[in-house]
Copies of this chain bind each other. A is one copy, B any other.
Amino acid sequence: MTPEDYMRMAIEKCREGVEKGQAPFAAVIVKDGRVIASGHNTVWQDNDPTAHGEMNAIRAACKALATIDLEGSDIYSVGEPCPMCFSACHWAKLRKVYYGITIEDARELGFQELTISNARMKEEGGSPLKVEGPFLREECLEVARLWKSLHGDRTY
């Protein structure tokens, strides 16, 4: 399995959420070549503004491994983690984040993103978290566009 394979799993998880009317974001967490957890955005489903895809995946991974320390794990996220999710990755001690579309792309979809990139969060916050992206941006944009065509009038 390659990073591309894991990102495509995240895209599939994202599509699952979009088909349920949820926002087009999802993530997969991998440790030592094994998928630990995945999650799509459930903000509307759970009536919870903190239920972003990355948050759901981190919480599920911690439950699965019975730890608050995900050291050595990587997260593959369809969207660049917003500052909330970036910080959650930092707190969970993830090793690396791969992301597809950028925070700017998410803003263009209509979401009220805080305009701070992961590179800025890392630099200014002093986090050891590694960041790689945009990664498979075109494939991630494709599922974002599917969401836009189906449910794009509803954002937050």
Contact = CB atoms under 8 A, between A and B. Distances in A.
Interface string A99-132: 0000000000000101110001100111100000
Contact of A91 (B116, B127, B156): B156
B62 A58 contact: no
Number of copies: 2
Contacts of A90: 84, 112, 114
Contact of A67 (B47, B59, B68): B47
Contacts of A63: 47-48
A55 B52 CA distance: 13
A86 B110 CA distance: 20
Nearest to A122: B114
Contact of A59 (B48, B86, B92, B115): B48
Contacts of A115: 124-126
A35 interface: no
Contacts of A58: 49-50
Interface of A: 43-44, 47-50, 55, 58-59, 62-63, 66-69, 82-88, 90-92, 112, 114-116, 120-121, 124-127, 156
20 contacts: A44-B68, A47-B63, A47-B67, A47-B68, A49-B58, A49-B69, A49-B91, A50-B58, A50-B92, A68-B156, A82-B87, A83-B87, A83-B121, A84-B88, A84-B90, A87-B87, A114-B126, A115-B124, A116-B124, A120-B124
